[in-house]
Amino acid sequence: MSTRTLIRGGLVVTAADEVHADVLIEDGRVVALAAHGSDVAAGWTADRTIDATDRYVLPGGVDAHTHMELPFGGTFASDTFETGTRAAAWGGTTTIVDFAVQSVGHSLREGLDAWYAKADGNCAIDYAFHMILSDVNEHTLKEMDRLVQEGITSFKLFMAYPGVFYSDDGRILRAMQRSADNGGLIMMHAENGIAIDVLVEQALARGETDPRYHGEVRKALLEAEATHRAIQLSRVAGAPLYVVHVSAEEAVAEIAAARDKGLPVFGETCPQYLFLSTDNLAEPDFEGAKYVCSTPLRPKEHQAALWRGLRTNDLQVVSTDHCPFCFVGQKDLGRGDFSKIPNGLPGVENRMDLLHQAVVDGHISRRRWIEIACATPARMFGLYPQKGTIAPGSDADIVIYDPHARQTISAATHHMNVDYSAYEGKTVTGQVETVLSRGEPVIDQRKFTGRAGHGAFTPRSTCQYLN
């Protein structure tokens, strides 16, 4: 028995178009769009009709950078796949791409299988994986080829965190050469971690232990230097490069310069870099620990370059880097030593709303909002047009969005499993009303109607954003 859902009367916004159209869904997929009020649309019948008058009808968000249950600094990110994907759905995100972790001395297979096990049966929305490479060697390089075949088509490398995730330039080059052959996309955490560790040691020796020093030692120049080096290595390897969580103006300039040369270099930034700053890191009474992430928050002056990059397409994607740690019991680990504060911010629930606020504020257009939050992440990571748009054949991952509702972001009302909000008290215009995942309501008129286990692992093709 097929089930049909009809969404009537909304403004369908995709990266390409804004049209007043009715959307017909059958068996979890979009089958047709027709102009609202047309004879074709009027003739459609369905088991369920959603009235979207005065609402936007959006493709579900694709958050290409999350860390559910990430082990870090002796603890684990506080959202599980169950709590994190539920919160994502509340915020209008219907697909996450999380990072499976290879630990040093172990295979990619082991790390990936552990991630399948964590996610399996627990997710409210669809999910996919990137693979973090912590130990590039002959065996790992061969495994990369197999992972690409399995739908794990992107690999994150770290120029930061010596002794944990860090890879030296030789290992980075080898992984890039391999990805040039197998079609994988290298994602780079671009910070000079060796130099940063020297500055950390010196700061602590001076008694500079507060959270704000996290921002001071992780210098913008060291992000820019690593970004530049990663770009040159990728040129040598003949591989495309995606730089994650770009926060410094100088790093944006490196990416822009590479793109001006026509190189396949891409950049992602995150809401925390667009809306927060070192002012937050400097909050007294250890409150700054709530804002410790890497790359770090920057002085406000950097934000203009990030917004400009998003408008000019020097930056293509906004993901959250969602990696929550509770203030009490986790961020606490770094009282008296900022280098022991677990790195990461919560945000998977807030991304679509914050970026809509950016539309309201005039930073980006409505279609650009959908492009950077839905369509391009789907294309970049091989999920398009199954995800990231509303078109015949696409999964019916759809958000009914009220662009006029006002809401105040708060830990008291959010659904992420973390005891604070990085955006506490911020009022934004716009709110998710209903969310469909493959046609099934996960959020229905601001009630959670989804279930753990509805979300399915989604294998990905290689990058679709290269030409």
Residue 189 binds ligand URP, judged by CB under 6 A:
yes
Q: What are phi and psi of 97, to 5 degrees?
A: -115, 110
Which residue's CB atom is positioned nearest to ligand URP?
Answer: 343
Residue of 66, 227, 280, 294 that binds ligand URP (CB under 6 A): 294
d(CA 460, CA 153) in angstroms, rounded, equals 6
- Least distance from ligand URP to the Cβ atom of residue 380, Å: 16
d(CA 359, CA 428) in angstroms, rounded, equals 11
Residue of 79, 250, 314, 321 that binds Zn ion (CB under 5 A): 321
- Least distance from ligand URP to the Cβ atom of residue 154, Å: 13
- For the chain, counts of helices (H) and of strands (E): 15, 19
Beta-bridged to residue 427, according to DSSP, are 408
- Least distance from ligand URP to the Cβ atom of residue 218, Å: 10
d(CA 53, CA 22) in angstroms, rounded, equals 10
Residues in region 127-186 near ligand URP by CB under 6 A: none
For ligand URP, which is the closer residue by CB, 278 or 294? 294
Inter-CA distances, 433 with 184, 411, 455, Å: 36, 19, 19
Specify the 3-state DSSP secondary structure of 2: coil
According to DSSP H, which parts of 300-413 are helical? 303-312, 351-360, 366-370, 376-380
Query: Residue 437, by phi and psi: left (phi above 0), alpha (psi -120 to 50) or beta?
Result: beta
Residue 344 contact partner, candidates Zn ion, ligand URP, none, CB within 5 to 8 A by sort of partner? ligand URP
Inter-CA distances, 180 with 64, 150, 186, 233, 298, Å: 21, 17, 9, 12, 33
- Least distance from ligand URP to the Cβ atom of residue 244, Å: 6
Residue 438 contact partner, candidates Zn ion, ligand URP, none, CB within 5 to 8 A by sort of partner? none
Residue 106 contact partner, candidates ligand URP, Zn ion, none, CB within 5 to 8 A by sort of partner? Zn ion
Residue 187 contact partner, candidates ligand URP, Zn ion, none, CB within 5 to 8 A by sort of partner? none
Residue 214 binds ligand URP, judged by CB under 6 A:
no
Residue of 29, 106, 366, 415 that binds Zn ion (CB under 5 A): 106
Residue of 73, 344, 385, 455 that binds ligand URP (CB under 6 A): 344
Q: How would you label 104-140 residue by residue, b for 16+ Cβ within 10 Å and e otherwise?
A: eeeebeebbebbeebbeebbbbbbbbbbbbbbbeeeb
Strand 398-408 and strand 427-437: the pairing is antiparallel
What is the per-residue binding string for Zn ion in 107-126, x denoting contact by CB under 5 A? ---x----------------
Residue of 343, 376, 437, 458 that binds ligand URP (CB under 6 A): 343
Residue 434 contact partner, candidates Zn ion, ligand URP, none, CB within 5 to 8 A by sort of partner? none
Residue 293 binds ligand URP, judged by CB under 6 A:
yes
What is the per-residue binding string for ligand URP in 49-68, x denoting contact by CB under 6 A? ------------------x-
The DSSP secondary-structure symbol of 395 reads B
- Least distance from ligand URP to the Cβ atom of residue 3, Å: 39
Residue 323 binds ligand URP, judged by CB under 6 A:
yes
For ligand URP, which is the closer residue by CB, 270 or 442? 270
Q: Which of 180, 173, 181, 175 is nearest to 232 (CA)?
A: 173
- Count of chain residues binding ligand URP (CB under 6 A): 9
196 CB contacts (<8 Å, ≥6 apart)? 160, 217, 218, 219, 222
- Contact criterion met (CB below 8 Å) for 369 and 453: no
Residue 290 binds ligand URP, judged by CB under 6 A:
no
Residues in region 201-220 near Zn ion by CB under 5 A: none
Q: Which of 228, 318, 225, 224 is nearest to 273 (CA)?
A: 318
Residue 191 binds Zn ion, judged by CB under 5 A:
no
The alpha carbon dihedral of 276, 282, 287, 288 has a sign of positive
Residues in region 239-268 near ligand URP by CB under 6 A: 245
For ligand URP, which is the closer residue by CB, 293 or 443? 293
- List residues near ligand URP by CB under 6 A: 67, 189, 245, 293-294, 321, 323, 343-344
